[in-house]
Amino acid sequence: MAANHSEQVSTYLPLHVIEIILLNLPAKSLLRFKAVSKSWNTTISDPVFVQNHLHQSKASNSRNLFLCKCKSIFSCYDSKKFSLARVDQDRRLRTLQVVEIPCGFYRLVLCYCDGVLLLTSADERRSGVEFVLWNPSTRTQTIFRLPFELSTDFKCYGLCHDPGIGDFKVVVICSNHYAVYSCKNKAWTRKKEFGDTFRVAYHPGVFVDGVVYWLMMEKDERRFKLTYFDPRDDEFKMPNDEQGIFEVQRPTYMIDFGGRLCVYIYEQRDKVVHIWIKGKGLDNNSWKELITVENVERFASYFVPMCFVENKIVIRLDGTTIVAYNPSEKTFEEFEDIKHYFDFLSVPYVESLISPNTFFRPKRKRNCL
């Protein structure tokens, strides 16, 4: 019956129109619609469709999806589940679904990109610890180990996705050296050391423009520098800073804000936070000030800009306090009824059909959107 219905719909709608409609549906619905017919299954499973759906998800920032820890009915947080929540215009968080993390892994998100999260099974300072790349939308995953001990001290992580072949690369920075894991090759690569000039000042890495950005700090001058990991040659590079955004010696942080790279800098004397946004594209090194948040009485690493709702910017002030800042009135409006969320995580979530254990090289080209 389902197949007959699909054939009837296809008689009235051209296939490219059906594909455009499917591209605007959430991943959960598309996985269900694979069972409608062979043609729908073929379309939804096609690597080009998967990439187009990802681009559509990134372009549609109106949903404002985030992952958070959720409480159980007994007001204790559930260490095995995430809540997928949407930021609504009425200053509320609405749970769309609850997903269980892979068995044996912690709920701490080390890094993320294109809807795929990196989680760990134990204390990542030990060698031989397991990691998992997991897509909550498709429930697909791939598990790998850290076969050698990078270091026993501080480490930070980055994750990037090469859409050309579908490969995910995990970057682990430790002290003054780093290593790279390729999911396609299922192998780690030891890389050369950074040297003693820089150290990582902000983590985790932020995946934007097809690369992973980090803030590094010059040890002698105490100034921030922007650097990025290029998955094409597994090397770290420095973009130009012609506007001197990183010349300041003030608390500087970095985020993925609606698919764009943003940095925000706190001016303690004036109690303001300046949020700058980078030009779109890897080779575009221009910056413009997105917004200035005034009357910031308290600032800490918990302060994270999250998204825009109409003309207001949503900000996480601490673990459980979320506000909407009105730039015209310079006031903060606190979100209501977030008692069901424990230690809200500012992890922007993009629905995708990408599997961390499937590799492909798209061949066909479509202009569907």
Specify whether the CB–CB gap between 141 and 355 falls below 8 A. Answer: no
Count CA atoms closer than 13 A to 26's CA, side-chain side: 11
pLDDT tens for each residue of 73-97: 554 555 678 888 888 888 888 888 8
pLDDT tens for each residue of 45-73: 998 899 999 988 888 755 688 888 766 55
Specify whether the CB–CB gap between 211 and 158 falls below 8 A. Answer: no
pLDDT on residue 219: 66
pLDDT on residue 117: 93
Give the bridge partners for 193, in sequence order: 177
pLDDT tens for each residue of 229-251: 999 888 888 887 766 666 666 77
Kindly indicate the confidence band of residue 297, based on its pLDDT and cuts at 50, 70 and 90. confident
Kindly indicate the confidence band of residue 207, based on its pLDDT and cuts at 50, 70 and 90. very high
Task: Write 100-103 long-range contacts (CB < 8 A, 24+).
Answer: 101/134, 102/132, 102/134, 102/141, 102/143
Q: Which residue has the higher pLDDT, 342 or 144?
A: 144
Q: Mind giving me the DSSP string for 196-217?
A: SSEEEEEEEEEEETTEEEEEEE
**What is the mean pLDDT of the segment spanning 108-127?**
80
pLDDT tens for each residue of 303-338: 888 888 888 999 888 767 888 999 999 999 988 776
